[in-house]
A and B are shown apart, each in its own frame.
Chain A
Amino acid sequence: MAALRAGKTNNEADQPSSPVLRFGADKPLKLDAGVMLSPFQIAYQTYGTLNDARSNAILVCHALTGDQHVASTNPVTGKPGWWEVLIGPGRIIDTNRFFVICSNVVGGCLGSTGPASTNPATGKPYGLDLPIITIRDMVRAQLMLVDHFGIEKLFCVLGGSMGGMQVLEWASTYSERVFSALPIATGARHSSQNIAFHEVGRQAVMADPDWHGGKYFEHGRRPEKGLAVARMAAHITYLSEAALHRKFGRNLQDREALTFGFDADFQIESYLRHQGMTFVDRFDANSYLYMTRSMDYFDLAADHGGRLADAFAGTKTRFCLVSFTSDWLFPTEESRSIVHALNAAGASVSFVEIDTDRGHDAFLLDEPGLFAAINGFIGSAARVRGLNP
């Protein structure tokens, strides 16, 4: 937590505690914004061993505020990896069998080049001088990492939410490099409602006087209040009304009666405040602006003349899509429209909707239905790929 305390620059941004791949002037990252990012770096984690044929690699794409620490302790929070329920030795995605790669996306704040990284031109953090990063830019950078490992074809690319968008981008733009794709709780575009929620979050950050036009590090400040409010609003969208009611109802927080004031009388208020406060300890406010923007800009059909099926024309990749009944951020219909496009493209596709009241965040949780689907899909894909158990 100390890494991100107010007034200090983010050490994990420039000198992360995970491996880093640095690209010099000879290997710039071409951005959709029309400029080159150079130099730049990618921070990543790997688990397991790449086999001799380099055919057992699985790339995990993280979500909006995720990071590369998918299956090992997070150096900032000290908490377990964000998908340790799924990935690890003997887990559904067994690292004794597969070589799992997870990198911090470009624009992130845990070691890959992002707004908190030092701009070599000024010696100060980029702030808003970093060009806008798109989902495709993130994937281009990941491709350079995959090339670095000499992996011709990834066995599987998987991820949820913003990670799922990266999976779709991978399968569309580099389909010959992807044997199987597992986009979870995601969409081929960000809906108007989702853009609206992101805009609320960004405005909350920018309304904080400590934001200083994005140059808060130079002022020795951080827009903690604004970022916490952004997180609180976003967090509601990750849950469902039913789950909130089940967990909190109208229960009061450490009190017997209403206080007739604006303290956190209700448990849900206290919970959200806690979520906001712990988030600012681990995440950079400008990075939050960039990450939300990348999702807003994502529209895979628009990139292919308005016809989503054309994004997957001729694909040989095996797909499995998963949605959750109570996810109102990426409702099942979003997944279904991708499935229809894949059908029209003649692709091999599985699609399951998991019945749960845990909302969008269900993809990060111990959901037996999700695990059974992933297990079945990965298992059959591995058989076809000739990967022995």
Chain B
Amino acid sequence: MSVNRAPRVDLEVVANLIPPQSRVLDVGSGDGELLELLQETKQIDGRGLELSQRGVNECVARGLSVIQGDADKDLQFYPDKGFDFVVLSQTLQATRNPKLVLDELLRIGNRAIVSFPNFGHWRVRLSLFVKGRMPVTKDLPYSWYDTPNIHFCTIRDFVNLCEELGATVDKATALDANGQKIGLSMPWWFWNFFGQQAVFLLRR
């Protein structure tokens, strides 16, 4: 389900938000990179949900508790507040119903951590503005017709959605093209322009 082929620069940021021994559900756990990192460094009780069978089989072979499933369909089966943290890393933009998925994350977890590529990044804007074409970059390598990323949003869009769902933003981080955090004191418009990825810690 982790459809972004770019290096997962957000993983470390996500991991730092999670205290040791937490119960964590990683939605879109890919090949289990984050779960393994968290198990090794934070001794978490981790579970994963992953769309691709190959990713799941790899995870289980590595001893991780991961099931094959779809964020759009299978989150409904998890109980309310069953986890301390529910992580959705680089997957929101590939879901059919991001609003519903985010709503479910906030129901299942005491906290939700969401990371996503920012469609408001200046390179994206430049591509549209100058070339008049959907952007194809190193980090977003798909053409418009074959991309799994069907629901791109900007950081500002996401903040609006959080407000609509009654979610409180406990923490937000924007990362630049090199995976470096953008200064905390910067305003939203600055993040929305220079942030290539964003990581949000939410609760409701």
Contacts and interface: CB of A to CB of B under 8 A. Distances in A.
B67 to A, nearest CB: 4
Contact of A353 (B59, B63, B66, B68): B68
Given A352-B57, A372-B57, A344 B78 contact: yes
B65 A353 contact: no
A350 B82 contact: no
Contacts of B61: 372-373, 375-376
Interface string B94-110: 00000000000000000
B62 interface: yes
A24 interface: no
A352 B56 contact: yes
> How many B residues touch the partner, as a band?
20 to 34
A351 B56 contact: yes
Contact of B60 (A341, A373, A383): A373
Contacts of A352: 53, 56-57, 60, 68
A380 B45 CA distance: 12
Given A352-B57, A353-B53, A355-B53, A344 B65 contact: no
Contacts of A206: none
Contacts of A353: 53, 56, 68
Given A340-B74, A351-B67, A346 B79 contact: yes
Nearest to A332: B68
A242 B110 CA distance: 47
B204 interface: no
Nearest to B56: A352
Contacts of B53: 352-353, 355
B62 A376 contact: yes
A318 B65 contact: yes
- From A318, A340, A350, A380, name the one whose CB has the most chain B CB atoms within 10 angstroms: A350
A159 to B, nearest CB: 18
B112 interface: no
A369 interface: yes
A93 B79 CA distance: 34
Interface in A88-111: none
B62 A346 contact: no
B145 interface: no
A348 B63 contact: no
Contacts of B68: 351-353
Contacts of B114: none
Contact of A350 (B45, B66, B78): B66
A288 B30 CA distance: 44
Interface of B: prevailing SS:
mixed
A42 interface: no
Interface in B131-185: none
A343 B65 contact: no
A379 interface: yes
B63 A377 contact: yes
A349 B67 contact: yes
Interface string A342-378: 0111101111111100000000000001001101110
Interface in B20-70: 45, 47, 53, 56-57, 59-69
Interface in A318-345: 318, 320, 336, 339-341, 343-345
B79 A344 contact: yes
B153 to A, nearest CB: 28
Nearest to A344: B77
Contacts of A355: 53
A339 B60 CA distance: 14
Contact of B64 (A343, A369, A375, A380): A380
Contact of B57 (A340, A348, A373, A380): A373
A298 B78 CA distance: 25
Q: Which of A341, A343, A355, A372 has the most CB of B within 10 A?
A: A343
B77 A320 contact: no
A186 to B, nearest CB: 16
B47 A348 contact: yes
A354 B58 CA distance: 12
Contact of B78 (A336, A343, A348): A343
Contacts of A341: 77
A377 B47 CA distance: 13
Nearest to A351: B67
Nearest to A383: B63
A350 B79 contact: no
A369 B56 CA distance: 11
Contacts of A349: 47, 65, 67
Contacts of B78: 343-344
A339 B59 CA distance: 16
Nearest to B108: A343
B51 to A, nearest CB: 12
Contacts of B69: 336, 339, 351
7 contacts: A320-B60, A350-B66, A351-B66, A352-B53, A352-B57, A376-B64, A377-B63
Interface of B: 45, 47, 53, 56-57, 59-69, 74, 77-79, 82
The 6 A-B pairs of least Cβ separation, nearest first, read A380-B63, A351-B67, A376-B61, A372-B61, A340-B77, A343-B77
Given A352-B68, A372-B61, 15 more contacts: A336-B69, A339-B69, A341-B77, A343-B77, A348-B65, A349-B65, A350-B59, A350-B66, A350-B67, A351-B66, A351-B68, A354-B57, A376-B63, A377-B63, A380-B63
